[in-house]
């Protein structure tokens, strides 16, 4: 007997989907997936951390429209009824959000509320991209969705962490009090093609440094851990969650955990060169460890990540 296929946007009727942050790394992959599935997509971005080249990929597509706007000031969409508002706009790399702390707080707060209002007005679903950063520097390992976190509310990462915690809170409030059909995902470190080379996150830094023959910039002693997810796995999880009425947060991440020194070894294997490391001070409030508990995603959308770090790096950088 064939297994019942898990519902996803691939099998749904054509949808009209508005995506904030469409010129960013994750947003651009969502645009691509939904257009390929026959849906209509409206992208919105102000390029604070995105790339015009990510919009150019779809500019001529007959089912894609782009609106250049800061969603913290409003989402100027006046078109036909939407089925989904997907709120992915926010600087996400620590150097970016620390360069724009007020804008990051605003897009998590005002931007999220503007998205919720738009979804409410269209009786559309609202999908929030939250983050593993809501767990802060976690005292529980791995991190299940039930963990409330350990966040410094005034530290250098607070503009991002507290913005996302507020975004989750207001999303639940609109669900509970106004009946909006919401989803919340907590994304763990994700990488893939179309990240900005100067993004500043560890995978892009290490790969580009290794390709240029430069030493890799390890912060601290490199014993801190992260768990890296390939973009295709994330997009598959998002697509499945849209089809399941589940409103509490869901972790989407790959539980394979690496120290930064182990990541150096993997990069060395992929690039094939001998790489050297140069050590810098650990940034303030840098979480010591991070690994998603993914039982909830397994249970409700039958999802597990399929791409290993080695495979994903080869695929992302064509190595
Ligand atoms: P990114 O910086 O590549 O993309 C974010 C996009 O949002 C950019 O194009 C930026 O210009 C746009 N944006 C920001 N503020 C805006 C505003 N006020 N109005 C309009 N557009 C605005 O980052 P990403 O990695 O693609 O992250 C996308 C989303 O996923 C973010 O919400 C981020 O918090 C979340 N997330 C990503 C990761 C990851 O590892 N990539 C992990 C956790 C959470
Ligand atoms: N990191 C590093 N070298 C770099 C960039 C980052 O050692 O060039 C470390 C950073 O201190 C953190 C981890 O890599 O411990 C992941 O950092 P990233 O900025 O990718 O994401 P985070 O999970 O901290 O938001």
229-230 and 125-131: which strand pairing? unpaired
CB 254 within 8 A of CB 305: yes
Active site residues per annotation: 160
CA angle 186, 187, 192 (to 5 degrees): 170
φ/ψ of residue 87, rounded to 5: -100, 95
Q: Ligand 1 pocket by C-beta < 6 Å: which residues?
A: 20-21, 23-27, 44-50, 70-72, 88-92, 107, 111, 129, 131, 187, 189-190
Ligand 2 pocket mutation pick from 26, 226, 263 by most atoms within 8 angstroms of CB? 226
Rounded Cα distance, 63 and 59, in Å: 9
Pair of tokens at residue 202: 């560890």
What pLDDT sits at residue 115? 98
What pLDDT sits at residue 3? 57
Pair of tokens at residue 209: 């440094």
CA of 19 to the centre of ligand 1 (A): 11
One-letter-per-residue 3-state SS of the chain:
CCCCCCCCHHHCCCCEEEEECCCCHHHHHHHHHHHHCCCEEEEEECCCCCCHHHHHCCCCCCCEEEEECCHHHCCCCCCCCCCEEEECCCCCCHHHHHHCHHHHHHHHHHHHHHHHHHHHHCCCEEEEEEEHHHHECCCCCCECCCCCCECCCCCCCHHHHHHHHHHHHHHHHHHHHHCCEEEEEEECCEECCCCCCCCCCHHHHHHHHHHCCCCEEEECCCCCEEECEEHHHHHHHHHHHHCCCCCCEEEECCCCEEEHHHHHHHHHHHHCCCCCEEEECCCCCCCCCCCECCHHHHHHHCCCCCCCHHHHHHHHHCC
The domain ranges of the chain are: 16-192+230-254+291-305
What pLDDT sits at residue 274? 86
Mean pLDDT of 6-31: 95
Residue 20 has pLDDT above 50, yes or no: yes
pLDDT tens for each residue of 153-162:
999 999 999 9
Which CATH number is associated with domain 16-192+230-254+291-305?
3.40.50.720
Q: Ligand 2 pocket by C-beta < 6 Å: which residues?
A: 94, 189, 201-202, 205, 217-219, 224, 226, 260, 283, 286
pLDDT tens for each residue of 258-284:
999 999 999 999 998 789 999 999 999
> Residue 4 — very low, low, confident or very high, per pLDDT cuts 50/70/90?
low
> Residue 75 — very low, low, confident or very high, per pLDDT cuts 50/70/90?
very high
What pLDDT sits at residue 6? 78
| Percent of residues, the chain, with pLDDT higher than 70 | 98
Enumerate residues 6+ apart whose C-beta is below 8 A from 101. 159
What pLDDT sits at residue 80? 97
> Residue 1 — very low, low, confident or very high, per pLDDT cuts 50/70/90?
very low
**Smallest CA separation from ligand 2 atom 12, residue:** 286
Point out the ligand 1 atom lying closest to the alpha carbon of residue 89: 7
Mean pLDDT of 90-118: 98
> Residue 319 — very low, low, confident or very high, per pLDDT cuts 50/70/90?
confident
What pLDDT sits at residue 2? 45
pLDDT tens for each residue of 194-250:
999 999 999 999 999 999 999 999 999 999 999 999 999 999 999 999 999 999 999
């Amino acid at each position: 007997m064939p297994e019942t296929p898990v519902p996803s946007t691939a099998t749904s009727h054509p949808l009209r989907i508005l995506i904030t942050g469409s010129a960013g790394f994750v947003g651009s992959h969502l645009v691509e997936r939904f257009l390929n599935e026959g849906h209509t997509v409206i992208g919105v971005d102000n390029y604070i951390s995105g790339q015009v080249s990510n919009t150019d990929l779809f500019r001529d597509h007959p089912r894609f429209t782009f609106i250049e706007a800061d969603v913290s000031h409003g989402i100027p969409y006046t078109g036909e009824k939407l089925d989904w508002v997907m709120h992915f706009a926010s600087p996400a790399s620590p150097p970016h959000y620390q360069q724009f702390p007020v804008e990051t707080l605003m897009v998590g707060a005002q931007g999220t509320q503007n998205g919720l209002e738009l979804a409410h007005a269209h009786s559309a679903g609202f999908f929030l991209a939250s983050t593993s950063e809501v767990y802060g520097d976690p005292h529980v390992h791995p991190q299940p969705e039930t963990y409330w976190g350990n966040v410094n509310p005034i530290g250098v990462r607070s503009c991002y962490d507290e913005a996302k915690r507020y975004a989750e809170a207001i999303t639940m409030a609109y669900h509970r009090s106004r009946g909006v059909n919401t989803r919340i995902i907590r994304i763990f470190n994700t990488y893939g093609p179309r990240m900005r080379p100067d993004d500043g996150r560890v995978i892009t830094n290490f790969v580009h440094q290794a390709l240029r023959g430069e030493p890799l910039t390890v912060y601290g002693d490199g014993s801190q851990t992260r768990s890296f997810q390939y973009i295709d796995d994330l997009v598959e999880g998002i697509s499945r969650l849209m089809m399941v009425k589940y409103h509490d947060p869901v972790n989407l991440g790959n539980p394979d955990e690496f120290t930064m020194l182990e990541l150096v070894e993997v990069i060395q294997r992929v690039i094939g060169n001998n790489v050297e490391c140069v050590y810098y001070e650990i940034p303030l409030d840098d979480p010591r460890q991070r690994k998603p508990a993914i039982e909830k995603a397994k249970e409700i959308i039958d999802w597990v990540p399929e791409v290993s770090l080695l495979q994903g790096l080869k695929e992302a950088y064509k190595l």
